[in-house]
Amino acid sequence: MTEQIKTKVLIIGAGTGGYVAGIRCGQLGLETVLVDGGDGLGGTCLNVGCIPSKAVIHAANKFETVAKAANGGTLGITASKPSIDLKQTVAWKDGVVKKLNAGVAGLLKKAKVKVIKGWATFSDAKTCTVKTDDGEITISAEHVILATGSEPVELPFLPFGGDVISSTEALSLDKVPGKLVVVGGGYIGLELGIAFRKLGAEVTVVEMAERILPLYDKALTDPVTKWLEKHGVKLLLGAKAGSFEKGQLNVTTRDGEAVKLDADKVLVTVGRRPRTKGWGLENMGVAMAGPFVKIDDRCATSMKNVWAIGDLTGEPMLAHKGSAQGEVVAEILAGHDKRFDPVTIAAVCFTEPEIVSAGLGPNDVEGHDDVIQAVFPLMAIGRALAIEAGDDGGFVRVLASKTDHRLLGVQAVGQHVSELSNSFAQMLEMGAVLEDVAGVIHVHPTLGEAFHEASLRALGHAIHI
């Protein structure tokens, strides 16, 4: 027997875009049904992406600290040689995820959002059938919000399975692989590759581009490259991965040489693609923009009252973008006049050291002589030195207009600089000028003082350099 449900708002996907849209719709009094057919409440980010990866990275950092103390000592601290039971680490990580899952479920319940677990298939733009453990439910809605997210890209010659894994499987391994080969030198591969190197794995990175993290400028990535080289991570740049056979990955090097890399696990992280197949998108009549669903600045698709948010709608594929879009759509449905038109969406790479980028970078303004650029090194910041974050080549950089000093972009590389990202984004969103940053009394001692000093330096009068 098929149950019939009619609702004001139907949301497909319970990731950071979908569940936030659901909560906001509920807060605004809109009858809302949320269909969760993917990774669970919180989606990729909470269950198999952002949160669990940062938990594993945190555990790896703790392990590295103890290992340093065992290897001659650090900061006057000595310790016995550490060991790790990765099963226990993964169990702790799963506990963090479970706690957050429960939190999201509670928030949705409080907002009176009806959550249905199952896979939705659309027959037309406003009607879908959901297969659940108890049967089928047909749902029709006045408004549909598509928030199906994205999935890892699979290489045809390196299909996932067995010892060829995606980031999802990497975050649930029961032991540290002796030899790990990472295919793809983007942020996901490097974040996890660095974590497993800290945990004791031998790591090789195979990247087609001529340098790692090709989406960031070289000044930002150089400190990461130096860390990799210092810690014995082998980089094969300009190289192409091939098939994986009998514990060996076939690779063609930059010079055309065919080599075989021994690998206990091959982690493929060559990007993500929007999840557009398997749920009836082709029956909805929405326009596409390449592989993505096309939207306007209200997150509206070409089909009336069908909306799309998050990774499904294009780059940047970042959780916080999807959440912001979800809030915008909910408020539009409640009659508010809203647009999704951010000045910037800051991005963070949780490598060693971390990278933050907000707004325009040097590559975006190359050839423009009407831009001021100023860099302030973390090694001149007391807090950075006191927490061993000042000796890895880290810095904060500001870009601003010469004519009116309006901030155009802010970047940073260094330990713990991810915590500066919101300050960077806030100043850019508010349309701040260099004098605004310079006029804010920054707390001492903090890493944020580097943002202050970089802005002062752009004005020609940095204090501590």
CA 77-80-82 angle, to 5 degrees, is: 110
- Given the residues 58, 416, 444, 452, the one annotated as active site: 444
416 among known catalytic residues: no
Which string of DSSP letters, residue by residue, matches 7-63?
EEEEEE--BTTHHHHHHHHHHTT--EEEEE-SSSTBHHHHHHSHHHHHHHHHHHHHH
Q: Phi and psi (nearest 5°) for 329?
A: -65, -45
Query: Tokens standing for 427?
Result: 């100043």
Q: Taking a C-beta distance cutoff of 8 angstroms, is the pair 458, 404 a contact?
A: no
- Name the pairing type of β-strands 164-165 and 265-268: parallel
Residue type, 94: D
Q: Are strands 248-252 and 32-36 parallel, antiparallel or unpaired?
A: unpaired
For residues 144 and 12, the answer to whether their CB atoms sit within 8 Å is yes
Distance CA 189, CA 448 (A): 28
Return the residue matching tokens 């349309």: 431
Task: Report d(CA 66, CA 79) in Å as an integer.
Answer: 7
Catalytic residues: 444
